[in-house]
Structures are given as structure tokens and as C-alpha cells.
Structure 1
Amino acid sequence: MTTARPGLDPELRTLLADMPSMPQLSTEVLALLRQLPSPPVESLLAHRQVDRREVTVPAGDGTPIPLSVFSPANTEPTTIAPAPCVYWMHGGGMVMGDRFSQLDIPLEWLDEFGAVVVSVDYRLAPEATGTTLVEDCYQGLRWVAEHSDELGVDPARIIVAGASAGGGLAAGVALLARDLGAPAIDAQILICPMLDHRNTSISSRQYSSHEYSNLRHSDGPGVWTREMNEFGWRAVLGNHGGEGGTAEAVSPYVSPALADDLSGLPTAYIDTGSAEVFRDEDTEYATRIWAAGGQAELHVWAGGFHGFDALYPQAHISVTARRTRTDWLARNLSRNRSQSRSRNHTT
């Protein structure tokens, strides 16, 4: 019996109908996908006045982790107040992508707020496993905080952000920074985040590719299915991943839904689609932040499939989702800048 499920937004459904079907992930398919060229970052920068800098940061085991730093080009930097910083973690199921993936999203915040954008090239599974990915991201964040003066960044306005796997890593970094006491994080933006290795939610079952074997692509689960999700988690966690995985053996920094305590976290913006695998785990994460006394803003976009606003940014629902996210960030940055000025006047 086919599981009932929310339908796709009509405009997205039309757009998706013209897209070739995504093959189910396997070791062989992953190897082919990794041969595809990186997103053309030059085209994203062509119409922007941006200074770009490439650095490497040592991971805990000494492996060099690349960071790309994008700053608004200023002719008189001494007259410019410290900028907010968006620390970006890319998506790709923890098995693909690089620091230029989905980079158009945080670059919009460079345009809007003069934010410095730092994007991290964390190591990927299955070559890297366990906590390696989130620890790579954390080490990059530490470097940003330690070099805030050099970067022209306000250390009180560092935002961690990411999409899909990157959203899950951003949540893990926020947990790790809280538990270690540093660096300070102002806010976390979790875009359709990959938060729970157990893969047992209703939405996960609704968007299984097995339910769609006889349907057209545009009627299917979008670009990320339950089976793809299982592949990604197995790559990171080995035998501990997927449904029935041993929770005791999995770190909550890797699978943030396992965290017993969600108190004391930076304010969160969480969005997801109603027609995607991660809908229920994302909604539950926001609910648990509220239950712990924290602050989260949650948006579930009706008819949105996984990553819809990155894949089709000009669709009406995508424009609305991206604008709503940016408006939230504007309110948060404005409030914290006012608080920072107030503290400076009283000291």
C-alpha cells in the first residue's frame, strides 16, 4: 500500500518534471558524482565587490582543512565597523559537495548585511567517519573566532549556518561549542537539516523511493530519499547508522537529535519542506529547543521537497523562503548590535 503524503508545490512539481531522475546512491554512483566539477564560484562573485582569501586550518589530527573567506571589498577598512560573520557548512549527505556548494545562500547575506562569509571544506564520509566531520567544522569555527580582528568580524555576531548535511553539522557545532564553552555563537541557521541517523520518522517513510517505483519523477520524493539518507548515515557511522542503529555508539554531535539537553543553545532558525524526508526530525528539534526554554523559529514550507530553494531559487515558494530567512537574520543581527552598543556605552 502506498503511504499517503503531502503533495508538491505545483510550481515545484512542474520544474521537477523537467529534471532527470537522481539515481539511488551507491558506492559506484557516489564515485561518479564526485567526478563532477565543483560549482563555479567565479560566476557567483562576478557581479559582487568581494575580496576572496583561501586559508587552511589544522584539524585535530593535523590534516589541513581548507576555508574560503569572502569579505565585502572596502576601500577604507579602518572606517568600517566589525561585520557579522556567517560560517557556512555545505550540504551533500555528508558524502559529497565542497565549500562552494550552495554558496549563493550565504553570499546573499554578504550582499544584504556586509557579512563576512567563511565556508569550510570538512572531510567527507566514508573516508572520514564518526565525529571527524563535525570536529573539522568546529576547528574552522575556532579559527574564525581567534582571527576575528584580522577578518574584521564582530566576535559577538558569528552565525553558524548550513543546508541539509551542513545544517546537521551546524547544529552539531552549536552543541559542541556550548559544551566546550567556546567559541561564542550568536545564532544557528539550519536549512532542511540532517539531524537524526535513526531515519524512523513518518516523513522518512513517506519519502521512500520504494513507494514511488511506478510514479513519474515529478510525483516522487524529490532529490533526497529515505534510502539515500540511509546511505549517507551508513557512510558516516558504519554499522551504527540507519534504522535500528545503536544510539549509545553514536555521538549527538554527529546526530544532534540524540542530544539529551538542548538548553543553552544559540537562537535557531529552522526550515524544511512539508514534502521531504527531514520534515519530522526538523520539527521535533525545534519543539525540543522550545521545551528546553530556548528560542527557535520554525518554518515548514507547504509542498517543498528537500533543498527546493537551493535547486530552484527563482520559484515563488523559494523566493519567499529565502526572503523570510534573511528577514529573520536581519532582526537577530539588529537586536544583537543594539545590545552590543548598549554594553559598550555602559563600560
Structure 2
Amino acid sequence: MPAEKVALVRAINESLRKALETDPKVLVMGEDVGRLGGVFRATDGLQKDFGESRVMDTPLAESGIMGTAIGLALRGYRPVVEIQFDGFVFPAYDQIVTQLAKMHARSLGQIKLPVVVRIPYGGGIGAVEHHSESPEALFAHVAGLRVVTPSTSSDAYWMLQQAVQSDDPVIFFEPKRRYWDKDEIATEAAPNLLHKARVLREGEDLTLVAYGPMVKLCQQAAVAAAEEGRNLEILDLRSVSPMDFDSIQASVEKTRRLIVVHEAPVFFGSGAEIAARITERCFFHLEAPVLRVGGYHAPYPPARLEEEYLPGLDRVLDAVDRVLAF
């Protein structure tokens, strides 16, 4: 990768290109991924360079796409499936939950399904119904799946590499509102990048935990809080399942306060699991309840109302005020 700032969507494109070059068993498949290059151009130019047998346009049938990918994986291939939008994944949910996630355990470890399911997710782009969802908790609840999401171009590039190389099925959520955010690509991947959280900002007063599209929002909140003399630590989870609870615990033991931020609804969201685990682990360190900031328990609204639905700077800073008031 060049030493320049690269958009997250281009980093994904370059990562897929690298995977296709490295391993002839890697295939890319999905709706409009070939000639069009994907609706977000994440696969732009790949079919031209690798051919229709490696980068395949599929029918508009997510269940069929997933079933085909599972069959290819059983024959030794490493399919990378693109689900065009987050809300379109549900026709494939049956295949993902009943086959993709369970085949390894069902065969007592004899069968591996190295399938990567790429899903652009989240809001912030003014899309129509079924084009903006945050279903990560639905997949994290299913044993047998790895569920990850990058927040930067560098993480997107290297995490996708490691996802393709994994023998376990990986649900790879891509924050579509961050597709055009740019940063430099690291020259090499950190060890265990796929499931290791990272501290983006050191702090002492409070820990903000986020992943995917909300990491940038938390960085903005930390800058705003610093103007009032508050020093917030930011932890980018990278992985929703498995989750790096050790890193969260280490941060909370230092700051003694925790806020979890995600776009998905707070009700039964991944933040609830974090709050419960950290309350168990850090009960004698916490000086305030763990708070969660997320979407409302309601269907995703029309585009003109999404900014009212999605967590914003004011909602995060309000939670900061409430936690620090204890």
C-alpha cells in the first residue's frame, strides 16, 4: 500500500486484491460486485483483473449466495461474500446461523468453513428503508461466528486480510458512513489484530468504548470534553465476538468509569453484555454505573429522521456528564 492517506473503501478494495493475488482459492461473490464494482465500489476493477471465475456477480438472492459460498468452502475454497446492504442479510440469516456457524461443531472439528461475509452497516448516509441497520448483536449471539468491524482504513485493510486467512467464518461489518474517511495504512498488521482492542486515546477520568462508525464520534466527544478539563480514554473494540474484555477491564480499572457507545439499539445490544461483564469484573473499581449510548428500540426511521435516531455528540457528552456526576 502507498504511504498516503487512503479511504476506508479503497483499503477494502486493496485488501481484497491482495487476498486474490495471494491465494488462488479466494473468491469474491455477491450482487453487482463484478462489472459494476459494488454499489460502494469496494470491488471496483477486481473482475477485470481476476476474471469472472474469481469475482462473480450473483443473482439477487442472498440465501442462494450464502448457500453457494458454504458449498464452495466445503470444497476447499475461501469465499468472500458481499451483502449489498445490511438490511439485505436477513434472507441469508438462516444459512448463516444453521449451517455456516454450526458445521464445524457438528462435524466435531473435521469440517471448516472459511467464509467471510462482508456487510456494509449503520446509518449516516441518508439511505432508504432496509439500507441502514446495525444487526451485529444478532450475529454475536450465535456461537461459531466471529464478528468484527474496523473503524479506520488501516484496520480495514489488515483485518480483512486476517479474516480471509481465518478458518472460522467471519462476519465483517463495514461502517458505510466511514467509507470515505481517510488515513494511512500501517506497513504491517499488529499480532492478533482481528480480535484485539486498541487504546486510541489515553485518559484518566472515564473510558469510552466503541467500535466501527462510533469510534470517530467518541474521538470528537473526547476533544470536546477536554475543553472542559475532562480527560477521556477511548477504546476501539474492533471485535464484537469474541470481545476483548481484558483490555476493557484494564482501562476501567484505571479510569473507574465506563460508557459504551454503538449505533445499534441499546435494548439487548452489545453494550449490555459489556456492562454486565465489566460490572462483574470491576465491581470494586467502578465509581459510577456503566452507561450505554445507542439507537432507540424502534424501527430504523426514514432518512430525514436518522440524525434524531443515531447517537450524536450531545448524547455522548450528556452521558459523560451523568457518569462524572457520581
TM-score (norm 1): 0.35
By relative contact order (CA 8 Å, sep 6+), the higher-ranking structure is 1
TM-score (norm 2): 0.36
